[in-house]
Chain A
């Protein structure tokens, strides 16, 4: 069964600290993996997209890594800010159909305290 599991479910850190969010998936065949940020009451916004051949990709203070062999990805946030408080969702695409079906994780709820 194609699945996307994220950990931790929730995380609280102090402003200025770094953190790493994890994503494990069993989706096959694999096409790409995205990390989305979803603020409370808003729609998700894409942070990064990684294909099979990419190991790491950065977007400002966000750095995503991908190990396609172990089917694991991580999102590292550096020097966290209050505005980083949000749910971070890992999304994997399988391209097994013409739709390029997306499999969503449940997200990690990150709270940054001052």
Chain B
């Protein structure tokens, strides 16, 4: 079982609200990722980080933002939620360095519903 946690697990919120999805890992991994996944569809990378103070946008354009102030913490924020943001958000981390398989360990996900 991977030591990566996401809160909340489920969130139902109204349009226009600001929300922050939390992700933390206790494995000391430098790399962290946020994915968006709709039912029956593949995971899409929306943000990633190589380490503290490093954040990059992924392949899928997203209105969300992320921050990486501490190694273990990688929160995702939506300033103004819209129904189109309804999805499952998965956080992952992987170790870096020579000899690493770069296997990503996933959190349980946050199921977001915007009404």
Task: List A residues at the B interface (Cβ < 8 Å).
Answer: 4, 32, 34, 41-46, 49, 89, 93, 99-102, 104-107, 109
Contact = CB atoms under 8 A, between A and B. Distances in A.
B108 A43 contact: yes
Interface residues of B, number: 23
A105 B42 contact: yes
B42 A41 contact: no
Interface of B: 2, 4, 40-45, 48, 59, 90-92, 101-109, 111
A11 to B, nearest CB: 14
A104 B42 contact: yes
Contacts of B107: 43
Contacts of A104: 42-44
B45 A102 contact: yes
Nearest to A95: B102
A42 B109 CA distance: 6
Contacts of B2: 43, 45
Most buried by A among B42, B45, B104, B105: B42
